Amino acid sequence: MKKAMIIINPTSGKEEALNYVRNVEDLLTDQRYEVTVKETAKEQDATLFCISACEASYDLVVSIGGDGTLHETINGLINQEHLPKLGVVPLGTVNDFARALQIPLLPDKAIQTLSSSRIKIADLGQLNDQLFVNTVAVGSFAESLSSVTSDDKSRFGALAYVKEGIKELMNQPTHPLCIQYDGETWEGESPLFLAALTNSVGGFERLAPDAAVDDGLLHCFIIKDLTIFNTITASLSLLFGNFKNHKDVVYFTAKNVSISSPESVRTNVDGEEGPSLPIQISSMPRHIQVIVPEEATA
């Protein structure tokens, strides 16, 4: 009999996650899975649960929660010989990975997707000794994103990140960065560096419209200046899908990126606080099988 593990964060989705577990369990049982449910209680629980699923050769792991729960879950895949398929029921604020793979953002519809026979083989990224599914941000703006509270996420959704970003903008903070990628080097002052695996970042699905979930590339943006005026023009560029062509944006694609600074600079990884510089980032092409809707085109 096939084996499936449900990893659930009970605090996700305004604490509605537990309401969906029975529906997922029933659907997977109908699909002839032997189902195990694991509920997170503290940091790294999802990672440990996923490691145990890999070691026991589970066929499927389902993450029920937000991007943070998904980030912890996929980190259980590091250095594993057996990799289960991944199912996602998004309950978070932004759900970038689900957006990029056209997995429904409505939980009931996402649950039905788990019965789909369609699989998408997607890239993952590696930052130092951890994996990520979507984005790495570096700089003062990245630090402000990490300070967004769970209450603000629940109340304001993606606007919570915009609110914190504008607050940081008033200080116009920058850091000296040295960014090396595929034989090239960029050095200068920047308030924000961003590396994305998909076209959806912070809920904006047109930041990197050319990015595909299986192109094997990191889509990278260096923001050189963020005065209020430039922020307005950059926002318009973002809305129209040509952010990479803005005069104060350096855009490139790469498979490997190294970032360092003489200052102490923090990072944000998949919406969660990450390590300080220096960091090494690399793409892991076509690393994981994800269940997607039958009609998905991603």
Contact 121, 286 (CB under 8 A): yes
Q: Which candidate, 124, 61, 133, places its Cα nearest to that of 95?
A: 133
Q: Quick one: 149 exposed, middle or buried, by C-beta within 10 A (0-12, 13-18, 19+)?
A: exposed
Angle made by CA atoms 125, 149, 92, in degrees to the nearest 5: 55
Query: Alpha-carbon distance 276 to 19, whole Å?
Result: 37
Q: Report how many helices (DSSP H) and strands (DSSP E) the chain contains, helices first.
A: 10, 16
- Of 164, 263, 272, 273, which one is the catalytic site residue? 272
Query: Alpha-carbon distance 7 to 24, whole Å?
Result: 11
Question: Is 272 designated active site?
Answer: yes
Catalytic residues: 272
